[in-house]
Each structure stands twice: as structure tokens, then as C-alpha cells.
């Protein structure tokens, strides 16, 4: 596997070529953004910046909005993704 191949652990699918290059760049930039976000001292700024990023990523996509809402609900309830509320 070269440096631009990306293994998606859940689907175990290798993304190669142009999409692999884009995915690697997105991952690198995401890690940089998260590091900058962690370095913010103000909790209010962290919260508002996090919400702003979510809003920009989700946009008008109803599926992504539902996934983001579910993830935020799970986080607020302390669930790690392997637990489900019935």
C-alpha cells in the first residue's frame, strides 16, 4: 500500500488513486483543525467552533444531519457507539 492508499477499517475497503489522495489530504487537514481546536482556551469558543464545523459539514444534507444529531445525542448520553438505547 502506498502513502496515498487509505484503509477504511469498518468497511475494509482500500481507497486508491485520486480519491485516496483527496482523502489523505482531508485527514491531514482534519487532524490539524482538531489540534487547533484543542488549543483554544475558551470552552465557549470550542463549543461554538465545533458547532460551526458541524454545520458546514452537514449543510442541507438530511442524512448527515440525522447522523450528526444521533452522534451528538450519543455523546451527551455517554454512549461510545457500541451501546444502544432501547
User: What ranges in 14-42 are assigned the alpha helix state H?
Assistant: 17-39
Residue 24 lies in a domain: yes
Q: Is the pLDDT of residue 66 over 60?
A: yes
Determine the pLDDT at residue 4.
47
Contact 65, 58 (CB under 8 A): yes
Helix (H) or strand (E) holding 8: strand 6-8
- Residue 1: pLDDT band with limits 50, 70, 90: very low
Residue 18 lies in a domain: yes
Distances (CA, A) of 58 to 34, 51, 86: 17, 10, 26
Residue 42 lies in a domain: yes
Long-range contacts of 5-11 (CB under 8 A, 24+ apart): none
What is the mean predicted confidence (pLDDT) over 71-82? 80
Q: Count how many domains the chain has.
A: 1
Residue 23 lies in a domain: yes
What is the mean predicted confidence (pLDDT) over 60-66? 93
Residue 32 lies in a domain: yes
- For 21-38, the pLDDT digits (tens) are 999 999 999 999 999 999
Mean pLDDT in the chain? 81
Domain that holds residue 40: 6-59
Residue 83 lies in a domain: no
Residue 70 lies in a domain: no
Amino acid at each position: 500500500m502506498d502513502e496515498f492508499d487509505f484503509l477504511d477499517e469498518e468497511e475494509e475497503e482500500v481507497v486508491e488513486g485520486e480519491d485516496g489522495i483527496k482523502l489523505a489530504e482531508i485527514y491531514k487537514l482534519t487532524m490539524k483543525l482538531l489540534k487547533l481546536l484543542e488549543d483554544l482556551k475558551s470552552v465557549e469558543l470550542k463549543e461554538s467552533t465545533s458547532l460551526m464545523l458541524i454545520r458546514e459539514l452537514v449543510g442541507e444534507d438530511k442524512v448527515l444531519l440525522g447522523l450528526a444529531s444521533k452522534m451528538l445525542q450519543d455523546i451527551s448520553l455517554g454512549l461510545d457507539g457500541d451501546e444502544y438505547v432501547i
